[in-house]
Amino acid sequence: MTKNMSSTNTLSHSSRVQFSSTDSCYLTRSHSLSLLTKTPIKNLIQAASSPDMRLKGFTPGITADESDDETYLFQCSSAGLYQCSVTGLVFEMKAEGDVVYRTVPWNRRLLAQHHKKPAGTLFDIKCQQQSVCQLCLPHCELISTGGGQFLQVAHVNDEGIEFITPHKITESHAFINITGFSGYGNVKDEDSPPDPVQALVLLFYKPPVDPDLRSVLSVFMLPRNIVFSKILRNRKTSDKTERYIETSSHCKLHPKQVYTLVTDPEHDLIKVQPKEADFDEEHHESYFPSFQVVLKKILTDINLSLGDKSSSSCVWEREVCLLPSGGKTDTLDTDPIKRLSALRSCFIKSISGPVLSSLMDKLLDEKVITDAEMDAADVIQNRSDRALQEEKKRPLLMLCFHGRTAREQEMKKLLCTKST
């Protein structure tokens, strides 16, 4: 089933690639590229075969099979230079044609036989009209600091594999001329030095569900040239309640380097696990969080710092808002009275007898309850049957939770003060 039809929009030479935004918790595919890539259009145009060519962005048509694997369709009407908003691929077209492409898994055993390793996603590309004359694959190498010297493009087909040296490498793409169609993807030598690469720190948040206060923030360290829509789809499939948190994600990371994640505030009810993690630049097919921050208290925002363990330097630091874009949520209400009401059943079960007795004394002192109510509660409290433990608490607490008078509101405030 087609999810959206392909469309194009012309981009000026002086601008950067930008597409429309969305209010959804999960970003649209057209928005993902502008957020996660910084592609100087001038570099792409200069590398094209025709320097007068204008770069156009397009959103491909997308179909999904039974296993939810997506296939992309670009219906091109004329010659030109076109960039896909989903994958970052750039096609130089010599004429009109239909380009069909999808991501496929690498044959790592085949790569190992040639002492190569993945340096990006492998794309299976077909064009019946044979009208694609140049392909530009996104990479994550730091060209300005000497990276990319070991970068090649693997061409995989039924006959085997060949390795093509790009005729041009910009800060964002590797350029090759093509005549045949099948699998194309960036690779590097297995023994290439672990130079720093352009990377992303992506955040996904699973909010608390009443009455549980526990929430989880999953932190991913990934190479910049991932297909962003794939990780969004992967996370949404695994947990529909989890949402992507939009923040500035760019940083530079060293492959196989050990990193640590620190939170502010630091609290016994905030736990980072594991304490340290390696950055894997070959992380292009399966996505697992590098860290998980388990929050056992309600927070509206949190500061995160990613540090290089070997140098103790901070490589990425952000203040992260855990609230959704609208700023309102039932599960993250910061008003103590509303929080207590939302957690009523959990509170009744968990409040201890001594705390309840102390609360009742305070309520009596503040003239929130009467002597008669105190005496009635004492009668219930003196009953020792274990099965009646909740019954001892319920008369007082249910009066609290269900009331709407000033007296009952005062009871809620005292309960919140005593319980924090």
Tens place of pLDDT per residue across the chain (420 aa): 444 444 454 333 322 222 222 222 333 333 445 445 544 444 554 555 555 568 999 999 999 876 668 899 999 999 999 999 999 999 999 999 999 999 999 999 999 999 999 999 999 999 999 999 999 999 999 988 888 889 999 999 988 899 999 999 999 999 999 987 889 999 999 999 889 999 999 999 999 887 778 999 999 999 999 999 889 988 888 888 899 999 999 999 999 999 999 998 888 889 999 999 999 888 666 788 999 999 998 888 999 999 999 888 999 999 999 976 544 443 444 454 554 554 555 555 555 667 777 777 777 777 777 777 777 666 555 554 444 455 555 555 555 554 445 555 665 566 555 544
φ, ψ for residue 387 (rounded to 5)?
A: -70, -15
Q: What is the pLDDT of residue 281?
A: 85
Strands 151-157 and 183-189: antiparallel
Using the structure block, give the residue that is written with the tokens 């009742």.
360
Peptide bond connecting 265 to the previous residue in cis, omega within 30 degrees of 0: yes
Per-residue pLDDT, 168:
93
Which residues lie across from 210 on neighbouring strands?
A: none
- Per-residue confidence (pLDDT) for residue 25, from 0 to 100: 30
How many C-beta atoms surround the C-beta of residue 86 within 10 A? 22
Domains defined along the chain, listed by start:
7-189 (2.60.220), 197-321 (2.60.40.2660), 336-419 (1.10.533)
- List Cα–Cα distances, 103 to 98, 121, 136, 284, in angstroms: 17, 7, 15, 10
Q: Max alpha carbon distance in the chain (Å)? A: 92
Query: What is the structure's pLDDT at 381?
Result: 56
Whole-angstrom distance between the N-terminal and C-terminal Cα of the chain? 52
Task: Identify the pLDDT of residue 393.
Answer: 54
My answer on whether omega of the bond before 211 falls inside 30° of 0, hence cis, is yes
**Who's near 385: CB < 8 A, 6+ residues apart?**
none
Quick check: 56 and 83 in contact, CB under 8 A?
yes
Q: What would the two tokens of residue 47 be? A: 């590398």
Look at residue 358 in the predicted model and tell me its pLDDT: 75
The single residue listed with the structure tokens 């608490």 is 393
DSSP single-letter state for residue 51:
T
The pLDDT value recorded for residue 2 is 44
**Would you tell me how many other CB atoms lie within 10 Å of the CB of residue 307?**
18
What pLDDT is stored for residue 117 in this prediction? 94
pLDDT number for residue 68: 66
Residue 299 pLDDT = 86
What integer pLDDT is reported at residue 244 of this predicted model? 94
The percent helix, strand, coil of the chain (3-state, each to 5) is 25, 35, 40
Q: What pLDDT shows up at residue 99?
A: 96
pLDDT at 15: 27
What the block records as the tokens of 404 is 């709407």
The per-residue DSSP string of 331-361 comes to TT---HHHHHHHTHHHHHHH--HHHHHHHHH
Question: What is the spatial distance between Cα 201 and Cα 317, in angstroms, rounded to a whole number?
Answer: 10
Q: Round to whole Å and give the CA distance between 338 and 166.
A: 61
Q: CB-based contacts of 267: which residues, under 8 Å, 6+ apart?
A: 297
Cβ neighbourhood burial of 78 (10 Å; 0-12, 13-18, 19+): exposed
Report the pLDDT value the prediction gives residue 1, as an integer from 0 to 100: 45
Q: Phi and psi for 7 in degrees, rounded to 5?
A: -150, 160
CA atoms within 13 A on the CB side of 420: 13
- Whether the CB-CB separation of 63 and 71 falls below 8 Å is answered with yes
pLDDT of 359 reads 73
Question: Cβ distance 45 to 51 under 8 Å?
Answer: yes
- The confidence score (pLDDT) of residue 184 equals 97
